[in-house]
Structure 1
């Protein structure tokens, strides 16, 4: 049975949701070279120890071993995406995405018996790209995802030496931010839920790790002239916080994702060598205020260029972190925020894939 899924291949994390499931899978978009692990105590969840070998015709290096997500988070040789990376072409993003699809296939028993000892799971996917990448790279992105890929879990608890073939049959690529609005405007049945969003002219500021997208949506169609994207996201400011904390206190965060987790959990106290502790909240505040001022200025610029915009939604993982700072910087200008902001796109991608399969909604 082919599973329908939405996958948000974000620069900070990969989010995956299956049709009929409310609980998205989130894996940090971070990898490290894999090797034979010295395990003193096995992790209590396979999610914490994604140790894989991946074969894919779309990868430049095949049958390589990787530590993925949480397992790579504190590894000294880990790799995170930089602002020069293009997610449509990135091997790292594909590695984490295929790991997520294989993991979900096994944990949700979506996988069926294949040949020999190989499980198999088939998907139809909805996914997306930033505004500036979409025109040039959407077809390339689709072709890299399509086809058959193979993931072997090695030391991963509960999945020891399980091999699974991930077959991606169809891919619907849409635009980040626009898919989020489609999700907000419709029910799971794809019937209209919010007339204002569905039939109005809506501005979106979708703040990601490495990009910020400003799609303008008129009656659920992308405005080609006014939609825009910027090659800057919250990662720029997280990197600055990491540098300042290291300079001030000698404490080095092993990854941007590790700092992001602390910010999300409001854990601003760090441990110093010995028994000392320090509050890094003032450093976080300084850089997030700078980020907020820049985001608000970009929103104002977009709104001036397209005065038909009725309201502006600020969404994405970056919006969750920056919300109080943006509200302060915006002053009297009203901006709209939503709950579960970082999951709007992935749920939108699922609905876009469903609508294109049904050929009932022109998204």
Structure 2
């Protein structure tokens, strides 16, 4: 029986939820080549030390060892996606996504005692998505890369040492980022309508990610082809600028955007200067986030003027959570709607869209 999963393959992190579970699995979208690492004390969570070998027919380089997610954020030679990367074609995003699915697929099951001699097998129908500007051209090739049989072997990962997992993806349902989040807000878990205004209205969405900002317009739960729009701009450019300014001003280096983003998420702006005490980087963060908020507010205003029938604008995504107070100030009299856990709304929406498609296609009996 296939498990139904929603997976948001974000440029900053991969977020996975399986049908019936209540806690999503979040893996930073960051990797670095793996090696035999010294272990003085084993980590207390598999997520803290994802050390894997990944095989997939869609990968250009197979059977390579990678440190994935949190383990990679600590290393200076880690890879984070850049504006020129396309997540539909990215090997890095596929490596992190397959690692996340393998982990989600075996969560709660007994560990394999026989090392490589025994392989777990997990089968999925997945819902996922792409940015507005990428969707039309790449959603079919993205789906083809996901569907099939893949393999993830955990090496020094605690609780999963030497455990091999075959990940079969039976079907991938690809939606548009932001629109899927709106579908989640409009419906209950059983897919019945929860919010009539969203479900039957003309709603604008501004979904702020790491590398893209998507502005789909959804009319009665259908994407408007003429007015939906995307910008190749996200939070990464501002996080990179903050990292540079902090390094130039205080000689303090963040190993990755993910490290800085975690600090900002926890509102921990204090850094330790070598031999010089502590200092707050909040003024630098405020300066760049105000600039980001002003740019996003102008994007929304321009789209709203082009399509005045839009009833309201929902601001979602990880960038919405980070920019909320700055956006509320930049928006002036323009009323914007924010939601709790905005960075998870796409993931929940992808799961519901996949469930809806499976129900329509009559596959419900084959999916758990």
Alpha-carbon shift at residue 359 of structure 1 (Å)? 0.9
Q: Is 1:140 the counterpart of 2:136 in the alignment?
A: no
Question: Could you tell me how far apart the structure 2 residues matched to 1:195 and 1:116 are?
Answer: 53
Whether the 8 Å CA contact 1:110–1:121 is kept in 2: the answer is no
Aligned partner of 1:193 in structure 2 is 194
Whether the 8 Å CA contact 1:320–1:341 is kept in 2: the answer is yes
- What does 1:114-125 align with in structure 2 at a 5 Å threshold? 117-125=118-126
Aligned partner of 1:52 in structure 2 is 52
Aligned partner of 2:305 in structure 1 is 304
SS of the counterpart of 1:133? Answer: helix
SS of the counterpart of 1:287? Answer: helix
Alpha-carbon shift at residue 110 of structure 1 (Å)? 9.8
Q: Is 1:342 the counterpart of 2:339 in the alignment?
A: no
Question: Could you tell me how far apart the structure 2 residues matched to 1:172 and 1:283 are?
Answer: 41
Deviations 1:111-145 (A, max 9, x none): 999x9511100000000000000000000000000
- Any gaps of 5 or more consecutive residues in structure 1? none
Question: Could you tell me how far apart the structure 1 residues matched to 2:251 and 2:344 are?
Answer: 35
Deviations 1:306-354 (A, max 9, x none): 0110000000000000000000011111100001100000000000000
- What does 1:1-363 align with in structure 2 at a 5 Å threshold? 1-109=1-109, 117-274=118-275, 276-359=277-360
Alpha-carbon shift at residue 76 of structure 1 (Å)? 1.5
SS of the counterpart of 2:240? Answer: helix
Alpha-carbon shift at residue 74 of structure 1 (Å)? 1.1
Q: Which runs of 4+ in 1 moved over 6 A?
A: 110-113
Alpha-carbon shift at residue 12 of structure 1 (Å)? 0.1
Question: Structure 1 pair 238/44, CA: closer, same or farther in 2 (3 Å)?
Answer: same
Question: Could you tell me how far apart the structure 1 residues matched to 2:297 and 2:110 are?
Answer: 43
Deviations 1:239-298 (A, max 9, x none): 110000000000010000000000000000011113511100000000000000000000
Question: Could you tell me how far apart the structure 2 residues matched to 1:218 and 1:110 are?
Answer: 46
Question: Could you tell me how far apart the structure 2 residues matched to 1:51 and 1:139 are?
Answer: 30
Alpha-carbon shift at residue 104 of structure 1 (Å)? 1.1
Question: Structure 1 pair 147/105, CA: closer, same or farther in 2 (3 Å)?
Answer: same
Give the count of matched residue pairs.
360
Whether the 8 Å CA contact 2:112–2:118 is kept in 1: the answer is no
Question: Structure 1 pair 129/188, CA: closer, same or farther in 2 (3 Å)?
Answer: same
Whether the 8 Å CA contact 2:112–2:163 is kept in 1: the answer is no
Alpha-carbon shift at residue 360 of structure 1 (Å)? 7.9
Alpha-carbon shift at residue 50 of structure 1 (Å)? 0.2
Deviations 1:180-212 (A, max 9, x none): 000000001000000000000000000000000
Q: TM-score, structure 1 length as denominator?
A: 0.97
Question: Structure 1 pair 110/197, CA: closer, same or farther in 2 (3 Å)?
Answer: farther
Alpha-carbon shift at residue 108 of structure 1 (Å)? 3.4
Question: Could you tell me how far apart the structure 2 residues matched to 1:360 and 1:100 are?
Answer: 27
Whether the 8 Å CA contact 1:105–1:111 is kept in 2: the answer is no
SS of the counterpart of 2:336? Answer: coil
